[in-house]
Amino acid sequence: MPKYNIAGVIVEMNPMFNRTISQAKPYLTTSSNNPDISIELSLEKLEEIKKRYSHLSIEEIEYIFLGQLFYRHILKHNGILLHSSCVVKDNQAYLFSAPSGTGKSTHTSLWLEEFKDAYILNDDKPAIIYKDNTLYAAGTPFSGKHDISRNILIPIKGICFIERSTNNWIKQISSKQSIFEILNQTERVPYEEDMNLILEHISNIVKNTNIYKMGCNISKEAVYTSYNEMSK
């Protein structure tokens, strides 16, 4: 079975359909190490899932549910999903999180227009990894509808939860509010053991990076509102 190096973790999986195959291709590895994670969805299982999600194609179901399995397994390897768009500038990662449709991807795309050295690490589902006493944002093949990701780990400078506003403002938020915001934008899990790991990882994130709330009108001015505060 093919092996992939995703977020610094060796993952064994064998996707059958083009979307996952093409998205995962940059993560292929020839490592001889045993896999840290092994995930598989049979065609029979995919067809069973499709009965519940008839509006999705088999290809879409494989992509979505392999991603869910990956993010569930990575909890045991110092990692967690944050539904966010992650932009990198000066080798530092800035993560912007919000409910779908708020404009987080539009906001980070404006960073690319304003800062020529900036790029998107993952546009929808980066992993946050704690390694060597440092928090990293990691690209993954599971990157939302725009399929933008890079197979690298970048130190996190800050995390910002955005909401629509007529004027631009940003403030650092408390640990309690940070925990609530992250919980709302990570993977839902059915098992108590996994929930305990999520809470442990969130506690680690809150202790090791600055977290903000931002009112944003999706303008170029908003780029500098976020960057000037978060880059301090």
The 3-class secondary structure across 116-139, one letter per residue, is: CCCEEEECCCCEEEEECCEEEEEC
What is the spatial distance between Cα 190 and Cα 168, in angstroms, rounded to a whole number?
37
SS3 call for 211: strand
Mean residue pLDDT of the chain comes to: 95
Question: Per residue in 113-153, pLDDT tens?
Answer: 999 999 999 999 999 999 999 999 999 999 877 788 999 99
The tokens describing 61, both together, are: 């179901």
- Assign a CATH topology to domain 81-230: Rossmann fold (3.40.50)
> Domain residues of the chain, as ranges?
3-77, 81-230
Output the pTM of the full model.
Answer: 0.94
With a CB cutoff of 8 Å and minimum separation 6, the contacts of 223 are 107, 110, 111, 114, 115
What is the spatial distance between Cα 201 and Cα 129, in angstroms, rounded to a whole number?
9
Confidence of residue 193 (pLDDT cuts 50, 70, 90): confident
User: 98, 96, 94, 80: which is closest to 200 by C-alpha?
Assistant: 80
DSSP string covering 148-173, please?
-B-S-EEEEEEEEEEEE-SS-EEEE-
Residue 38: strand pairing partners: 12
With a CB cutoff of 8 Å and minimum separation 6, the contacts of 74 are 7, 9, 37, 80, 81, 127
SS3 call for 93: strand
